Amino acid sequence: MASATQGGRVKPVVALLAVLVGLAMLANVGLETLDPIPDGAPLFGNLDEFCASAALLWGLWTLFRRPRR
């Protein structure tokens, strides 16, 4: 039985989705409607922006890294 990741097509799709979601969150496209944690919340206010930045960086790294030889 073949798995979905055997062809190597799932990871680039997930990486592209992470880049798009990260950019949408950081660009504030939804005018604070996509903000799951309000920025005024003490101690956790910027946690969603941190996660969006991490997803964006991981997605870009996954899409543009060079394969090992």
Q: Please write the tens of the pLDDT for every residue from 7-22.
A: 567 889 999 999 999 9
Cβ(60)–Cβ(69) under 8 Å?
A: no
The pLDDT of residue 53 is: 94
User: pTM (2 decimals)?
Assistant: 0.72
| DSSP code for 67 | P
Kindly state the tokens that stand for 12.
């680039």
